[in-house]
Structure 1
Amino acid sequence: MMSMRTMEPIDSTNELGGRRRTAAILMLALCVFIIGTAELLPMGLLLPISGDIGVTIPTAGMLVTGYALGVVFGGPVLSILTGRLPRKALMCSLIVLFMVGGGICAVAPTYAILIIGRIISALAHGVLFGIMVVTAKTIAPPGKEGASIAMVGSGLTIAVILGAPLGAFLGQQFGWRLPFLVVTLLSFAALLGIMKLVPSMPSTESAPIKGQLRTVSRPQFILVLLMTVFGAGGTFVAFTYITPILERITLLSEGAISVVLLIFGIGSMIGNLLGGKWSDRRLLPTLFGGMALLAVSMAFFSITSHNKAAAIVTVFVWGMAAYSIITPLNIRVLQKAGHAQELASTLNISAFNLGNALGAYIGGLVIDSTLGLPAVPWAASLVTVAGIALTAWSVHLDRRVAGCTEIGSAGMGRCEA
């Protein structure tokens, strides 16, 4: 039997026509949509799951936390173990693994089996995201890498806007198992699309594992991951609690809150596409500008949340800013990754999930303190300001290293970077 490496020895990305390239990128975006929807599903189904399986709501909430931990810790390990396998074959294998996890969730008779299914899907999640980001960059036309990554990333924003709410609706109407089954069936359709449209690619990780680990453990790379943690974390300090803010401070009805969340999602989609387009032109200004707008918009939300019209406008700008930084952060990570591109991208997905968890935790601490719910947007803004400071430090180190390189090439003596 031929090995996976023998089956896919040729890199056919250069043979892609314009339509095939676009179709492949859209198929990757569909996969991201499916994965993002699956991750968010339990958030809208905690009550029916807890009632049917016979566990408390906080215990059911571990389906979200356990999944996030699976992405944070399992993704990088699996990425290291599979780094030398052909990319397309690995991508298809991971989609199958993701389907297995989803299928287990759909038929799980007990809570223990349900959470096992979630963890299985989570293990595939981190590596799949990493491969898809690098694949989007690889098959993009020259100079359009950021736009290609943003297009694939738009699948996640659509999952937030459409996938998760639709999954919650199906679960409430027809039982919580149906959305997991639908996601599994969609995953199979995506698998067929990936097999047909995405070109064969050999392993991109030619460096030894020790070399890759050395690369991703360098202070400059860790600093870039921390930029992601605090960038994503800042958003989720406030977004995790946006519903109670809109309900208790802005005094919106449940229906109006749904509309505002949709407006946030529309803003996030626009921000994601603009961030990708501008990253191809001026990466660092796009990243700094997006983070600054994010910090300012969340700080303003603590004021505008007392006025319905102003709150809606602020939420739209907030959504734009929050997702405008995703592609620049991805590209920044890949720039620092050397030959560890997919491991680095997987670690960045872990950093996003860690930021989400950290942000929710910080927001909860603020609510439980004497500051209370109105101070949550301010706390979110401060976390993002920390991300801006880390980004400035990263750029400073880049310039310092560049200066040291110039001094060394000119033979002017030793320079410690």
Structure 2
Amino acid sequence: MPTNTLTTPSQSPDAATEPATQVGRPAAWLAVVSLGLGIFTLVASEFLPASLLSPIAAGLGITEGAAGQLVTATSVIGIIGGPLVVSALPRVDRRWVMAGLTILAIVSNVLVAISPAFGLMLASRLLLGIALSGFWAMSLAVTAQLVPADRLGRAMTVVNMGVSLATIAAVPAGAYFGELFGWRAVFFGAAAAGVLTLVAQLATLPSIPPSGAPGFRTLVQTARTPIVALGILAIVLIAGGHFMGFTYLRPVFETIDGLTPALLAMLLMAYGIASFVGNLVAGLLADRRLPVLVIAAPVAIGAGTVLLALAGSNLALTFVTVFVWGAGFGAVPTMVQTWSARVASDRLESVGGLVVAAFQISITIGAAVGGLLVDSVGVQTALIAGGIAAVLGAGVLSSARRR
């Protein structure tokens, strides 16, 4: 059976993930929390336009469909943003790279808040896409230098908690404060949150040297390694399957008899809470039961989507399936990042960039394929197809790990 060509004979798979920084345990975990705050601020900024489409469109004199491209632009640039940051800064202290990316997000939000025209606003969102994808790509390698190898899964749960909390809070908070103070004030608020995050990072992050041999050549070599390539394929199947259905949750919920705005909010809240719970469970399993997590998380996505497609107007079953689905996908980021650290322990920055690119590609492909299925054969078919893709992804990831 082929072996992992990324690990040198003199190096155990976890050796490269031993902490290289000289910080005590409490200080290290405070630094990890600061990374989680960074992820929260960045992801919340990414989704703010979704809650402010109508006032943004009215303020700029554009359609809501055009305003929606503020989210699309961030996602699309993220495909190249993570690998670009990793390969373009091979020798810079990672403390300053993370701080620089946070500053880039602050600048993006300020420019959005003051932009007089849609074109400048769209360009500003591209800056956020680079900041978000670069920060998330680097977070695995930085975290691995802060905590022991046998705590990496739990540490990534803390970092990825920022994703779960932002998913739950960003849209409703943006809508609420937008009504009170206006949409431009919301983006100023996001910039202020970025400043607080930057202060926390500078106060807690130690000097962190580059991990492995970062650079464009290493990135390409890592991508061409069979086990990593299989992992990227698995991510596209799992996350793409998720977004194949998740993008069209609203039409699914509208099949429920007597759907009200309050009930819709409760269903979305149930998904958000489940995602948070799934991330916590992933932290407990990733370090000691990774093979179980590799199967359980995608299968939960598959079961949730397929059963939701069959639930019809059964409200109780809908809540259960949404919770299972949310918990499954909530576990995926920590599961994938921990898996990547095991198979490419000496190239964490490169594999981190590839993982982020794979997620962004998954969003694009999943939403596009799901849309074709919804328009041609119905939303239930999109859910079932997405569930099957997620389960297939579990099989690919499990087989890749055995290699």
- Please report the TM-score for the alignment, with normalisation by the length of structure 2: 0.91
The question of whether the paired residues in 2 share the 8 Å contact of 1:250 and 1:311 is answered with no
**Alignment pair present for 1:117 and 2:124:** yes
Secondary structure of the residue aligned to 2:233 is helix
Q: What corresponds to 1:390 in structure 2?
A: 396
Matched residues in 1 for 2:22 and 2:81: separation? Answer: 34
1:377 equivalent among 373, 376, 383? 383
Q: What corresponds to 1:32 in structure 2?
A: 39
**Alignment pair present for 1:173 and 2:219:** no
Q: What corresponds to 1:349 in structure 2?
A: 356
AA matched with 1:379: A
**Alignment pair present for 1:63 and 2:62:** no
Shift of 1:143: 1.2
Shift of 1:149: 0.4
Against the structure 1 CA distance between its residues 19 and 233, is the aligned structure 2 distance closer, same or farther, given a 3 Å change threshold?
same
Q: What corresponds to 1:410 in structure 2?
A: none
Matched residues in 1 for 2:153 and 2:123: separation? Answer: 35
Against the structure 1 CA distance between its residues 174 and 207, is the aligned structure 2 distance closer, same or farther, given a 3 Å change threshold?
closer
Q: Which moved more, 1:183-192 or 1:91-100?
A: 91-100
Shift of 1:29: 1.0
1:165-204 pair list within 5 angstroms: 165-204=172-211
AA matched with 2:295: F
Against the structure 1 CA distance between its residues 222 and 392, is the aligned structure 2 distance closer, same or farther, given a 3 Å change threshold?
same
Matched residues in 2 for 1:23 and 1:146: separation? Answer: 16
Shift of 1:373: 2.4
Secondary structure of the residue aligned to 1:203 is coil
Matched residues in 2 for 1:57 and 1:151: separation? Answer: 35
Matched residues in 1 for 2:146 and 2:384: separation? Answer: 41
Q: After superposition, what is the alpha-carbon deviation per residue over 1:10-41, rounded to whole angstroms, capped at 9, x for unaligned? A: x9954323322222222111111101101111
Shift of 1:84: 1.8
The question of whether the paired residues in 2 share the 8 Å contact of 1:154 and 1:269 is answered with yes
Q: What corresponds to 1:48 in structure 2?
A: 55
Q: What corresponds to 1:77 in structure 2?
A: 84
1:234 equivalent among 215, 225, 241? 241
Q: Percent identity?
A: 27
Q: After superposition, what is the alpha-carbon deviation per residue over 1:252-290, rounded to whole angstroms, capped at 9, x for unaligned? A: 211111111111111111111111210100212211121
Greater radius of gyration (CA): 1
Q: After superposition, what is the alpha-carbon deviation per residue over 1:40-60, rounded to whole angstroms, capped at 9, x for unaligned? A: 111122211111111222221
Q: After superposition, what is the alpha-carbon deviation per residue over 1:237-260, rounded to whole angstroms, capped at 9, x for unaligned? A: 111111221123354211111111
Q: Which moved more, 1:144-153 or 1:65-74?
A: 65-74
Matched residues in 2 for 1:340 and 1:127: separation? Answer: 16
Matched residues in 1 for 2:24 and 2:272: separation? Answer: 32
Q: What corresponds to 1:254 in structure 2?
A: 261
Matched residues in 1 for 2:119 and 2:155: separation? Answer: 39
Q: What corresponds to 1:321 in structure 2?
A: 328
Q: What corresponds to 2:151 in structure 1?
A: 144
Shift of 1:293: 2.0
Gaps of 5+ in 1: 1-10, 399-417
Matched residues in 2 for 1:88 and 1:289: separation? Answer: 35
Matched residues in 1 for 2:370 and 2:136: separation? Answer: 27
Matched residues in 2 for 1:341 and 1:108: separation? Answer: 37
AA matched with 2:384: W
Q: What corresponds to 2:291 in structure 1?
A: 284
Secondary structure of the residue aligned to 1:144 is helix
The question of whether the paired residues in 2 share the 8 Å contact of 1:67 and 1:119 is answered with yes
Q: What corresponds to 1:334 in structure 2?
A: 341
AA matched with 2:316: A
Q: What corresponds to 1:158 in structure 2?
A: 165
Q: What corresponds to 1:407 in structure 2?
A: none
Deviation >6 Å, runs of 4+: none
AA matched with 1:94: L
The question of whether the paired residues in 2 share the 8 Å contact of 1:31 and 1:187 is answered with yes
Matched residues in 1 for 2:179 and 2:224: separation? Answer: 45
Shift of 1:163: 2.2
**Alignment pair present for 1:106 and 2:113:** yes
Shift of 1:309: 1.2
The question of whether the paired residues in 1 share the 8 Å contact of 2:214 and 2:349 is answered with no
Shift of 1:395: 3.5
Q: What corresponds to 2:14 in structure 1?
A: none
Q: After superposition, what is the alpha-carbon deviation per residue over 1:337-380, rounded to whole angstroms, capped at 9, x for unaligned? A: 354311221221121121122211122111101x2123232122
Higher relative contact order (CA 8 A, sep 6+): 2
Q: After superposition, what is the alpha-carbon deviation per residue over 1:50-99, rounded to whole angstroms, capped at 9, x for unaligned? A: 11111222221211111111111233122211122110011111111121
Q: CA RMSD in A?
A: 1.9
Q: Which moved more, 1:170-179 or 1:106-115?
A: 170-179
- Please report the TM-score for the alignment, with normalisation by the length of structure 1: 0.88
Q: What corresponds to 1:299 in structure 2?
A: 306
AA matched with 1:191: L
